């Protein structure tokens, strides 16, 4: 079932150690087949060296497991809530990459300070609030997803324009139009968090990039008149 998607999700998961986004088993990637209404995700706690495409777990959007010998990722319910709330996304990734986690533990947005971030994110990458004790007790992973959705709705953020967030005292989530794009966005998020950290070490008073920089750099890659890359070449 969904053999091609399982292969894609497996390969996207294997990019996490390649790009230094995970230590041990601290991460997971999922993908969704919107037509069938099914999600594929990494199994929980399996070492990347031992992971195989056939180990990927297939679930309904209700969380019911349809295929897989292993338990799905412990973050499965968070992924499911993001897919339900953000209908344009087709891949989700969660890691504990250190610089993004640093901002999460500080309870601070990852500020949009330069053009690297402007190219991918239309502003700051938001830090999602702490969950209450009741929310954690009730359903930690599901409420993590709901709190992310709440942050985007409350602040009128477009998940296609800011395809990532960090959860306070936890870590980053990113998403995209495919599992590979989700990983790509997670890599960029970690890099810009590192850049911001270095910038703040050099100059604690450094400010965000001006709005017209954000507008220019984001629109030249993602806007209706985008001209970055070769797709627009005539």
Q: What residue ranges do the domains of the chain occupy?
A: 3-222
CA–CA distance, 139 with 96 (Å, rounded to integer): 21
Q: Tell me the pLDDT band of 229, cut-offs 50, 70 and 90.
A: confident
Cite the active site residues: 119, 228
User: Which superfamily does CATH assign the domain made up of 3-222 to?
Assistant: Class II aldolase/adducin N-terminal domain (3.40.225.10)
Question: What is d(CA 161, CA 119) in angstroms, rounded to the nearest whole number?
Answer: 10
Which residues, 6+ apart, have CB-to-CB distance to 106 below 8 Å? none
CA 186, CA 92: separation in Å to the nearest integer?
9
Q: Residue 214: is its pLDDT beyond 50?
A: yes
Q: What is the mean pLDDT of residues 11-16?
A: 98
Tens of pLDDT, residue by residue over 69-119, are 999 999 999 999 999 999 999 999 999 999 999 999 999 999 999 999 999
Element (H, E) at 100: helix 98-106
Structure tokens at 43: 């199994």
pLDDT per residue as tens digits for the range 20-56: 999 999 999 999 999 999 999 999 999 999 999 999 9
Residue 234 has pLDDT above 50, yes or no: no
């Amino acid at each position: 079932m969904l053999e091609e998607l399982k292969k894609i999700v497996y390969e996207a998961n294997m990019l996490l150690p390649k790009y230094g986004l995970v230590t041990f088993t601290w991460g997971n990637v999922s993908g969704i087949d919107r037509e069938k209404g099914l999600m594929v995700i990494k199994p929980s706690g399996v070492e990347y060296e031992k992971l195989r495409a056939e180990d990927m777990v297939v679930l309904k959007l209700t969380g019911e497991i349809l295929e897989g010998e292993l338990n799905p990722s412990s973050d499965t319910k968070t992924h499911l809530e993001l897919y339900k709330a953000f209908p344009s996304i087709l891949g989700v990734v969660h890691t504990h990459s250190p610089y993004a986690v640093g901002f999460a533990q500080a309870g601070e947005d990852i500020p949009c300070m330069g053009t690297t971030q402007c190219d991918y994110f239309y502003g700051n990458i938001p830090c999602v609030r702490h969950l209450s004790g009741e929310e954690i007790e009730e359903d930690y992973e599901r409420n993590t997803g709901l709190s992310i959705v709440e942050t985007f709705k409350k602040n009128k953020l477009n998940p296609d324009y800011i395809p990532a967030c960090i959860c306070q005292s936890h870590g980053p989530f990113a998403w995209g139009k495919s599992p590979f794009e989700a990983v790509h966005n997670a890599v960029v998020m970690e890099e810009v968090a590192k850049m911001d950290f270095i910038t703040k070490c050099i100059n604690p008073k450094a400010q965000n990039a001006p709005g017209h920089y954000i507008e220019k750099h984001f629109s030249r890659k993602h806007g209706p008149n985008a001209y970055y890359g070769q797709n627009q070449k005539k």
